[in-house]
Amino acid sequence: MMKSTGVVRKVDELGRIVLPIELRRNLDIEIKDPVEIYVDGDMIILKKYQASCLFCGNAKDNVIYKNKHICPNCLEELKKQ
| pLDDT one digit per residue (tens) for the chain, 81 residues | 778 888 899 999 999 999 999 999 999 999 999 999 999 999 999 998 888 999 998 888 899 888 889 999 999 998 888
Q: What is the DSSP letter of 37?
A: E
54, 69 contact by CB (below 8 A): yes
Q: What is the DSSP letter of 30?
A: P
Task: Note the pLDDT of residue 67.
Answer: 87
Task: Note the pLDDT of residue 39.
Answer: 96
Interatomic CA distance for residues 58 and 74, integer angstroms: 9
Task: Note the pLDDT of residue 73.
Answer: 92
Task: Note the pLDDT of residue 2.
Answer: 79
Q: Report how far apart, in Å, the C-alpha atoms of 36 and of each of 6, 16, 49, 62, 74 are.
A: 22, 15, 5, 18, 24
What spatial distance separates the first Cα and last Cα of the chain, rounded to whole Å?
Answer: 42
Whole-prediction pTM: 0.64
